[in-house]
Amino acid sequence: MFDQRTVRRMKSLLFLIPILTAHGLSAEHPASSVYDRSADQHDFIVFMEEGGWCWYQDPRTIAQDGKLFIGAVRGNGNGEALVGVYDLENGKAIGTAVMHPNFDRDDHNSPVFYVRPDGKILAVYARHGKDLYHRSRTCDPSDPLNWSDETRFERRSSNKRDKVTYMNLYHLKDEDTLYNFFRFVEFNPSFVTSNGNGDSWSEPTHFFKSEADGRHRPYPRYASNGKDTVYISITDGHPRNFGNSLYYFEFRAGNFYRADGALIKNLNTDGPLRPSETELIYRGSMTQEKPEGFESVPNSAWTSSIAVDARGRPHIAYSLYLSDNDHRYRLASWDGVSWVDREVAYGGKCLYPRESSYTGLITVDPVDPTVVFISADVHPTTGKDTGGLHEIYRARIEAEDDIHSIKWEPVTVNSPVRNMRPVVVHEKGKRVVLWNRGVFTTYKDYQLDTVGLIEEVTR
């Protein structure tokens, strides 16, 4: 006799067969998505051909010395880990450098960046829970396609199930320390630090600890002021396994804090932070009860984007799963006294059934978080199905706004392919908006370009 958990897994596998068949996929012979660029005559800037990104690594793109550096993984062929370079001053793509020639065809593995004090660009990248390594290379921006040999750093854990996933680089000037936050110890957020600009790293520190029953993976999004603080929004686990709530805390000088500056505890003396010790932003269903198959747990939140405004106040954009066909986007903003959390848009349908909480995403401008971009395949205000694919929309959202007052402006219209996962960077008074455009079947099967626009900042 099989136990109940095994039976559920067997049913899930049976449920997967028609989905794989519909997409032309199998475990041994995954299909390759094909993006017919000749049939997609758009007017957007093509910053980089080939390559997509997940949204749990940052910064995925940076601007330095008039050049835009973009981390991505090719979703077909050998799945190379790539860095695309675009000349912002002359308005042309320079080319693409290969960080790793075969990196699993998995968008979770895209490189992230840090500008070192000597001006060189550090790229760091890792596989999706396959091994114990994170890898790095450097380049001089004056020769952006010529990168150093790969250096590999091994992480250690007492639990053989722990593997490295997701890279997030943040330098705190007051500590003169570079942090690399990633998933590792106990399947939880962890970090290593470097006081040598990425040439060497500390041993891993367990940063945040799940309290859900079983082995769960909290999903964090990070932001930093670059001086002394890292700001974090985080969930209980994966929405397919748990009815996530959304939480917030700050990390500064080895301590955890609330948004109002109240001390929670010290990491070294009191251990990793737990959800119950943080600030609750949104309360999900907090259950592991879910429909059969791959549907997520109803009323489960998932992190998408976080930014801090000029006053040091955090703004958190996230998605809420109601069903495979009904996702909502929400925005929580700290007004200096309390959190203002509200629904701001309909997100539409999931990208594919196996990952039922995957949306096109919502992101906030890191310099001006009132500027918000979303990807949706429905009308953002009414939820009405537009009959098309995911398009990009934009809006300015003030503290008093919610879904009833926000005016969403379409950026893309009637696209023959998907537009998804927008990000924003700034360079010399200009806002650079980027997103993935093309064909996306699964996170291991896609053909996407990084496209977007550049605009003058008028506010």
State the residue for tokens 């906030």. 364
pLDDT at 291 (0 to 100): 84
pLDDT at 14 (0 to 100): 40
Burial of 437-448, coded b for 16+ CB within 10 Å and e otherwise, reads: bbbbbbbbbbbb
Element (DSSP H or E) covering residue 48: strand 45-48
Give the residue from 51, 170, 173, 188 showing the smallest Cα distance to 112.
Answer: 170
Q: Give the separation between CA 5 and CA 458, rounded to whole angstroms.
A: 56
| Average model confidence (pLDDT) across the chain | 93
Contact 272, 215 (CB under 8 A): no
Q: Give the separation between CA 342 and CA 355, rounded to whole angstroms.
A: 25
Contact 202, 178 (CB under 8 A): no
Q: For 208, list phi and psi in degrees, rounded to 5.
A: -140, 140
Number of Cβ within a 10 Å radius of residue 102: 12
Positions of the chain with pLDDT under 50 = 1-29
Q: Give the separation between CA 156 and CA 90, rounded to whole angstroms.
A: 45
What is the number of alpha carbons within 13 Å of residue 237 lying toward its C-beta?
A: 20
What is each CA distance from 134 to 79, 163, 165, 286, in whole angstroms?
Answer: 17, 10, 9, 33
Contact 93, 46 (CB under 8 A): yes
According to DSSP, the residues that pair with 379 across neighbouring strands are none
What the block records as the tokens of 82 is: 């790539």
Q: Give the separation between CA 395 and CA 342, rounded to whole angstroms.
A: 15
Q: Give the separation between CA 137 and CA 149, rounded to whole angstroms.
A: 6
Element (DSSP H or E) covering residue 442: strand 430-442
Q: What is the pLDDT of residues 157-211, one digit of tens each?
A: 999 999 999 999 999 999 999 999 999 999 999 999 999 999 999 999 999 999 9
Give the residue from 250, 246, 74 showing the smallest Cα distance to 170.
Answer: 250
Contact 339, 306 (CB under 8 A): no
Q: Give the separation between CA 133 and CA 73, rounded to whole angstroms.
A: 17
Helices and strands in the chain, H and E counts: 2, 30
Q: Which amino acid is at 246?
A: L
pLDDT at 26 (0 to 100): 39
Give the residue from 302, 324, 323, 332 showing the smallest Cα distance to 242.
Answer: 302
Q: Give the separation between CA 336 and CA 350, rounded to whole angstroms.
A: 34
Q: What global pTM score does this model have? A: 0.93
Q: Give the separation between CA 234 and CA 246, rounded to whole angstroms.
A: 6
Name the DSSP letter for residue 108. Answer: G
Q: Give the separation between CA 36 and CA 41, rounded to whole angstroms.
A: 10
pLDDT at 31 (0 to 100): 61
Cβ neighbours of residue 310 closer than 8 Å, sequence gap 6 or more: none
Name the DSSP letter for residue 44. Answer: S
Cβ neighbours of residue 148 closer than 8 Å, sequence gap 6 or more: 137, 138, 139
User: CATH fold of 32-456, please?
Assistant: Neuraminidase (2.120.10)
Contact 368, 360 (CB under 8 A): no
CA angle 375, 381, 386 (to 5 degrees): 65
pLDDT at 430 (0 to 100): 96
What the block records as the tokens of 266 is: 């010290």
Q: Give the separation between CA 49 and CA 450, rounded to whole angstroms.
A: 6
Name the DSSP letter for residue 277. Answer: G
The domain locations on the chain are 32-456
Q: Is the peptide bond before 30 cis (omega within 30 degrees of 0)?
A: no
Q: What is the pLDDT of residues 8-61, one digit of tens each?
A: 444 443 434 333 433 334 343 356 899 999 999 999 999 999 999 999 999 999
pLDDT at 21 (0 to 100): 37
